[in-house]
Amino acid sequence: MENVLITGGAGFIGSNIAEEMVRRGYRVVILDDFSTGRMENIEALLQEGKATLVRGSILDRDLVRQTLYTHAISRISHQAARPSVAKSVKDPVKTSEVNITGTTTLFHAAAECGCRRVVFASSSSVYGDTPELPKRENMSYSPQSPYAVSKAAKELLGRVFSRLYGMEVIGLRYFNVYGRRQDPGSDYAAVIPKFISRALAGEPLPVEGDGLQTRDFSYIDDVVEANISALTREDLSGGVFNIACGSRISVLDLAKLILSITGSRSSLTYLPARQGDVRDSLADIAQAREFLGFSPKYAIRSGLEKTIQWYAALGRKPCAA
C-alpha cells in the first residue's frame, strides 16, 4: 500500500481525509504546523500508531523535501492553507505567503521527489460574483478577495507543474464545506458551525447582510470521498473539479432550518455584509460525476442533522482555533 502525505492533516478537512485513508489501509503521514489544526482531531490516529505526524510548515522547504524522501511519499493530499476571505482582507500578505508560496514549495518538492499525484484544495471563490449560475469549471476567474486570488494561483501552478514536470495535479474547488470537526469558536468561523453552536446555546444567530445570499453547501463525507477518488483513480491525469451538493440555499433559510432541527428559540441578528464575499453560488458537478465518479450522498438537511448531532454530542463549548 502506498504512503500518502496529508498537509494540514490536523485540520477540519485534512483530519477527516486522514481518518478515511487509514481506514482503507493507506500509510498516512500528516504535516501540520497547528496554526489552525488541532491535535485532538488526529490524537486517536497517532495513539493507535495508524498515522505519523510531522510538525511543521509547508513553507519550510527542507522539512517538506525531507518528509517526502524519508516516508517515500507517492501521493499528496494538499489541504494546508490559510483559510478565510475575511483573514485575507485583513492580512493579504500572510494569505499569499502560505497559500501561494507554500503551495509552490510543496509542488516543487513533489516534482523533485517523484511523487505520482498531488490533489489540492481550491475554492469556489475563484468564480467571484459573476451572475451566471451554475458555476462551471471552464468559466473565467473573477476573484473578489486575496484569498480567492491565492486559490486561483494554486490552480495555475498546478497546470504549470503538470506540464513542466509530468505530475498528475488535480484541484478540487470546494463549495462551502461543513461537518464534524469544523471549529465554530474562531472569529472567522464559517456560517454553519457558527449558527449551530449558537442555536444549541440559545444565543442569537448572526446573519451578515440581508441573508438572501445563496450558497451550495458540501457535507464533509462527500468531500472526503471526492478527495480519495481524486487521489486513487487510475484513469485521471489532472484537471480541476467542482465539489459541491449541486443545490443552493439562502443564508436566511439555512438559519431557519438549523433552528428547526435543533428546536432552538434563538433569534436572528443582522450584521453588515462581509467584505469580499460573493452574492450567489451554485455548482455544476457534471465533470466531477464523470471523471471522479462523484455522487454526493447528503442533501443540506441530512448533512445538517448529522453535523448537529456531532456538535450536540461534544457536551462542551468549542475552543478557538
Residue 316 in this model has a pLDDT that exceeds 70: no
Q: What is the pLDDT of residue 1?
A: 75
- Residue-wise pLDDT for 242-285, tens only, equals 999 999 999 999 999 999 999 999 999 999 998 777 899 999 99
Domain boundaries, the chain: 3-178+219-243
> Per residue, what are the HEC states of 96-152?
HHHHHHHHHHHHHHHHHHCCCEEEEEEEHHHHCCCCCCCECCCCCCCCCCHHHHHHH
Report how far residue 278's alpha carbon sits from residue 143's, in angstroms, rounded to the nearest whole number: 9
Q: What is the pLDDT of residue 6?
A: 98
Q: What is the mean pLDDT of the chain?
A: 94
- Residue-wise pLDDT for 60-117, tens only, equals 999 999 999 999 999 999 999 999 888 999 999 999 999 999 999 999 999 999 999 9
Q: What is the pLDDT of residue 319?
A: 39
pTM score, whole prediction: 0.94
Report how far residue 66's alpha carbon sits from residue 22's, in angstroms, rounded to the nearest whole number: 22
C-alpha cell at 321: 482555533
Superfamily of domain 3-178+219-243: NAD(P)-binding Rossmann-like Domain (3.40.50.720)
